[in-house]
Amino acid sequence: MDKPVAMAPARPLDHPAINPRRIGVLIANLGTPEGTDYWSMRRYLKEFLSDRRVIETPRLLWWFILNGIILTTRPGRKGKDYETIWNKALNESPLKTVTRSQAEKLQETLTALDDRIVVEWGMRYGHPSMKAALTSLQEKGCDRILLVPLYPQYAAATTATACDKAFEALMQMRWQPTLRVAPPYYDDPVYIDAVVTGLRQSIAALDFEPEVILASFHGIPKEYLMKGDPYHCQCVKTWRLMREAMGLTPDQFMMSFQSRFGRAEWLQPYTDATVKALAERGVKRLAVVMPGFSVDCLETLEEIAGENGEIFHHHGGEKFAAIPCLNDSPEGMRVISHLAIRELQGWISPAAG
């Protein structure tokens, strides 16, 4: 009778522990300083403005401008701006507060579909970093990760740099998880319906009816468009689809670009100049919606609601409203959940879609 063959153990006794296989989802946004003080602002601005995707000025020239001028003067001014919107209860910016909530709500939705899914959130600049979020997912056993940049319109300075940072983190991993990246969703019907629904709800809650609605998108230097960045075209399509859904004319539903920086020409028309011109021509009631922002932040709460509201009133306007971003509202979460579930197909049950 043959002797039974001894079976080798499944793995060596000293083999590192292996977690059960799980699926990760990482939602990513731009980032935020950790505080409003000078040094917190300086660290954030240095990381942000050192990114070659954001600033394409020749490096040697930019080094002198950044370190000799900007990082000595701008942190104090921007810190005061952040103070006006700061979540003092949690000692953090609204962008961080809302992005965390988005991740928590997305986790609830996706767990109901597949309990293997783990959701994390990360920032391209600041904390929690993309590397920290990806490492956390990997340590929890995620061998497949979906990255969802929360930018409806693609730009090299937003979507691409978020991907760069994710790939940079993967380069340092021995056992890399498989990574998928959700595409921009500027013309996705669910997104368009959500921003239009949110806009209608906000307008219905106002004590006035706007004569003009202005869709303000974050600007980029015109040079980036000429080099092939599709951002401008995607913003225009979002605006057109929203306008058609609202049933408004181009004069009733206009578009512009905000947040320009430096002396170079940026995408036009500029938001502040447009707001000023509307007031000066006799428009008394204006609402501004910012469909390119998934979360309210400095650019929406201070620049639009504060600075541009003042411009409008100073030049003859009477009623001004900055429409809240989708944030973690039911409409906002409908968009993020839709994107995640759609892009997870093949990793989760088809029935989940």
Confirm or deny that 318 is annotated as ligand binding.
Answer: no
Note the maximum CA span of the chain.
103
Residue 231 near residue 155, CB atoms below 8 Å: yes
Cross-strand bridge partners of residue 308: none
Tell me the three state secondary structure of residue 245.
Answer: helix
Residue type, 253: F
Cα separation, 129 vs 146, whole angstroms: 16
Is residue 352 scored above 80 in pLDDT? no
- For residue 181, the tally of other CB atoms under 10 A from its CB is 18
Could you give the CA distance from residue 117 to residue 164 in angstroms, rounded to a whole number?
Answer: 24
Q: How confident is the model over 262-282, as a mean pLDDT?
A: 95
**Domain ranges within the chain, ordered by starting residue:** 22-35+86-184+331-352, 189-322
pLDDT at 349: 73
In tens, the pLDDT along 182-229 reads 999 999 999 999 999 999 999 999 999 999 999 999 999 999 999 999
User: Is 91 in contact with 35 (CB distance < 8 Å)?
Assistant: yes
CATH of 22-35+86-184+331-352, one of 1.10.10.60, 3.40.50.1400, 1.10.1740.10, 2.60.40.1220: 3.40.50.1400
Note the pLDDT tens digit of each residue in 115-129: 999 999 999 999 999
Query: Does pLDDT of 143 surpass 80?
Result: yes
3-state DSSP assignment of residue 330: helix
| Runs of H (alpha helix) within the chain | 38-49, 59-65, 71-83, 94-113, 130-139, 161-170, 189-204, 222-226, 231-246, 271-280, 298, 309-314, 330-343
- The pTM for the full model equals 0.91
Q: Supply the pLDDT for residue 331.
A: 98
pLDDT of res. 268? 96
**The pLDDT of residue 120:** 98
Share of the chain above pLDDT 70, in %: 93
The reply to whether 189-322 shares the fold of 22-35+86-184+331-352 is yes
pLDDT at 6: 55
Reported CATH class of domain 189-322: alpha beta
Provide the edge-to-edge strand list for the sheet that holds 319-322. Answer: 253-258, 212-218, 285-289, 319-322
The answer to whether the annotation marks 218 as part of a ligand binding site is yes
3-class secondary-structure state, position 27:
strand
Rounded mean pLDDT of 286-303?
97
Separation of CA 279 from chain center: 30
* 25-54 average pLDDT score: 94
pLDDT of residue 206: 97
User: How confident is the model over 65-83, as pLDDT tens digits?
Assistant: 989 899 999 999 999 999 9
Question: Are the beta carbons of 231 and 153 closer than 8 angstroms?
Answer: yes
